[in-house]
Structure 1
Amino acid sequence: MTTDIQPSAVSPAQRVVKNLLRSRELAVAVVLVLLIAVTTIKSDSFLFGSTGWRDLLLTPSMLILLAVGQTCVIITRNVDLSVGSTMGLTAYLTGRLFIDTNLPIIAVVLAGVLMGAGLGLINGVLVAFGRVPALVITLGTMYIYRGAFLTWAGSDRINASDMPRAFKDLGTDSILGIPILTIVALAVLCAVGYYLRTARGGRELYAIGSDPDAAELYGLKVNRRILFAFVLSGALAGLAGVVSAARFGTVSSSVGTGIELEAVGAAVIGGVAIFGGSGTVWGAALGAFLLVTINRSLPVLGISGFWQQAVVGALIVGAIVLDRVLVNRQERALVAARDTRSGSTHQGPPSLAPVVPSSTPGSDSESEEVVR
């Protein structure tokens, strides 16, 4: 007796295309390309000027680093509002180390990253083990770190002449037309993206964000993973501070002010669910590019500063609303599929008998045994 095997209704290529068309990352990328195109049509110097292409790639580098770290925290249903203050502290530390010591550039960079990781560790310990909401903790440490920065720096300003030429060149030099700082940001983006997608620890961050209680019952090291997310966010904020010092060549007490909200906005616009459990660093990076490009392109298009902020706010609100719509739609689809498999959609009164799944765990079979 022969059995006819029905081919898959959807081929792998069609599935890939379908997933791409539904991805938030693709939608953000399309908006970004259209914005660049419209602005370039209005003023070709925006992209083809002497520094147009370079600025388009270089300016988002700091925000990409912050958005990548913020993504790892938001995925776990938390948020880190202290990254701007951490960035300011490490930027000033970078300048002071060049003034007060003879450390090589790589040692200064590592010092900035380690300081940021230490500040992130404080946040992580208080959130993970103190069981205090991250919004409250990081709002407090944001002001504490900023106060420490202002006390340390005072009215002092670190100028370009205080830092070595080789360090400042990192903010201006390029490799094959791509700024060095952009390459650094993209390298970090790829490393963290690979970790989240392939490593067990990265997948556990998503599991924790999807359902923290279930993750704990399953035996995942919830506190350790949350602590790691905050340390990583702090370390990348520290690196962003070093990048800021190299990019602008000066450090003042205003470095990093307000950028924490841009980092959260970039992640949310890029498709990272503010309620945790989903999103990618690729989307967050595209969101960072989009935010920076909006700030640069709207003045070229003749739009006032008020509307620049309004557009960014509308994007954030729209992204959150879209997330809730998609989540609700997915929940309804899952409930409908479960009801269909359990036979609850048949005509007549519903059966009160419990439904026991087939004895093969993880089986693709939809057969179920009904206990009468």
Structure 2
Amino acid sequence: MTINGLLKHRESMLALVIVILIGAVGVITPDFLLAKSLLGAFNDTSMLMILAIGQMLVILTRCIDLSVAANLALTGMVVAMINSAMPGVPIPLLIILAMAMGAVLGAINGFFVWKVGVPAIVVTLGTMSIYRGMVFLLSDGAWVNAHQMSASFIDFPRNTLMGLPVMSWIALGVVVLLFFVTRHLRFGRDFYTAGGNPTAAFYTGINVGQVQFKAFVISGMLAGLCGYLWVSRYAVAYVDVASGFELQVVAACVIGGVSIMGGLGTILGCVLGALFLGVINNALPVIGVSPFWQMAISGAVIIIAVIANAKAERAPGRIILRRAVTGAADVNPTTATAVAKS
């Protein structure tokens, strides 16, 4: 089976697992199968989907962004404080500001990876702490609560359109847009090329570092968008907003079949990975499991998914030089060449 065939099979299996999981929870609690509950679970997963898609682009280029949750917290605090001080600022302007600020924070990560050559995991671990510290310095440790936010600021993601909250429509819009970009535009295909074979990408005129920079900018921009969505939906902004959420984001990508070695993954797989975690996170309280198990379950699922991905991607080697005929002189092993199947 080819890699593409394997991915399609994996996505089908993941979709089936999600359906079975929903059915199993529904047997215990029939109300979970109601359309209202299922739409609520989808809405609860919207921000995870958005962040996972941005993270996917970064991972495709053989990098990782561990600062997305800190980026979200900082941009969310900024727009919440602006709304508290100037309630008349239009919501669309605040969203644009959050996305622009998130893009700048992502660009900082991309700059150090591209121009300075620092490993992405080191850079984003550092900026994760810096961005969290900036939230504290900016707010002086204080919270921005619901009564300090304008009604329009809080209500925007909750407003419904054709039965779905605006936040769900935003997530669907991001999914459709980036699906089109990665499938039909060279700009999107460059993420796969840069991560799948950096050497070949270089010889075809693709600047791998620049592609990584773009991935970080997009990831940061989507984190900024989620910064507004998070603080407005939960009507609170504080230092530890979305603390540890980066684990869920990486888990959604890995579960969805995105290779941590780069160059392999799909938007659909990412969405299914996020939905899988969303169903688990919504189902655990329903069946009486402590929410503190969610992080442990996510970590275990990441390990299992990484092992599964590694085995799926491992290709057997084949010997190019071997004895031509029985009884011929042995070939010196040092001159034998083995290459992996492409």
1:277-316 pair list within 5 angstroms: 277-305=263-291, 307-316=293-302
For the 8 Å contact 1:75–1:277, the answer to whether it is kept is yes
Map 1:348-359 to 2 at 5 A: none
The answer (yes or no) to whether the contact 2:83–2:153 under 8 Å persists in 1 is no
In structure 2, what residue type is equivalent to 1:263? V
Contact 2:247 2:298 in 1 (8 A): no
Q: Unpaired runs of 5+ in structure 2? A: 332-342
Superimposed CA distance per residue, residues 171-226 of structure 1 (whole angstroms, 9 cap, x where no aligned partner): 32222222210110110111112111111121111111112233223321212111
Distance 1:284 1:95, change over 3 A: same
**Deviation readout 1:120-143 (Å, 9 max, x if unpaired):** 010000001111100000000000
Match among 229, 254, 257 for residue 243 of structure 2: 257
Distance 1:346 1:170, change over 3 A: farther
2:170 pairs with one of 173, 177, 184: 184
Is 1:67 matched with 2:56? no
Write the letter of the residue equivalent to 2:242: G
Say which is worse superposed, 294-303 or 78-87, in terms of deviation: 294-303
Instruction: Give the counterpart of 2:128 among 131, 142, 145.
Output: 142
CA distance in 1 between partners of 2:192 and 2:207 (Å): 13
Counterpart residue number, 1:154: 140
CA distance in structure 1 between the partners assigned to 2:34 and 2:81 by the alignment: 37
Structure number, greater radius of gyration: 1
Structure 2 letter corresponding to 1:119? L
Question: TM-score when scaled to structure 1?
Answer: 0.81
1:79 partner letter: I
Q: Which range is displaced more, 278-287 or 80-89?
A: 278-287
Q: Distance in 1 between matches of 2:198 and 2:103?
A: 24
Aligned length: 328
Per-residue deviation, 1:107:
0.6
Task: Render the CA deviation track for 1:32-69: whole Å, top value 9, x for unaligned.
Answer: 111111111111222328x5233212111111111011
State the alpha-carbon separation in 1 of the partners of residues 147 and 110 from structure 2: 37
1:86 match: 71
**1:69-90 CA distances to partner (integer Å, 9 max, x unpaired)?**
1000000000000001100011
Instruction: Give the whole-Å Cα distance in 2 for the aligned partners of 1:227 and 1:125.
Output: 6
Matched, 1:96 2:81: yes
Does the Cα contact within 8 Å between 2:71 and 2:105 map onto a contact in 1? yes
User: Does structure 2 conserve the Cα–Cα contact (< 8 Å) formed by 1:47 and 1:56?
Assistant: no
Partner residue in 1 for 2:181:
195
Shift of 1:229: 0.3
Q: Shift in Å at residue 115 of structure 1?
A: 0.3
**CA-CA distance at 1:344 after TM superposition:** 7.6
- Measure, in 2, the Cα distance between the counterparts of 1:171 and 1:182: 8
Which residue is equivalent to 2:337? none
Deviates more, 1:303-312 or 1:70-79: 303-312
Written as runs of structure 1 = structure 2, the 5 A alignment for 1:316-335 is 316-328=302-314, 331-332=315-316
Residues 201-240 of structure 1 mapped to structure 2, 5 A cutoff: 201-240=187-226
* C-alpha RMSD over aligned residues: 2.5
1:290 partner amino acid: F
TM-aligned CA deviation for residue 279 of structure 1: 0.2
Residue 241 (structure 1) aligned with residue 227 (structure 2): yes
Between the aligned partners of 2:293 and 2:147, the Cα distance in structure 1 is 37
18-27 vs 206-215, greater mean Cα deviation: 18-27
Per-residue deviation, 1:22: 4.7
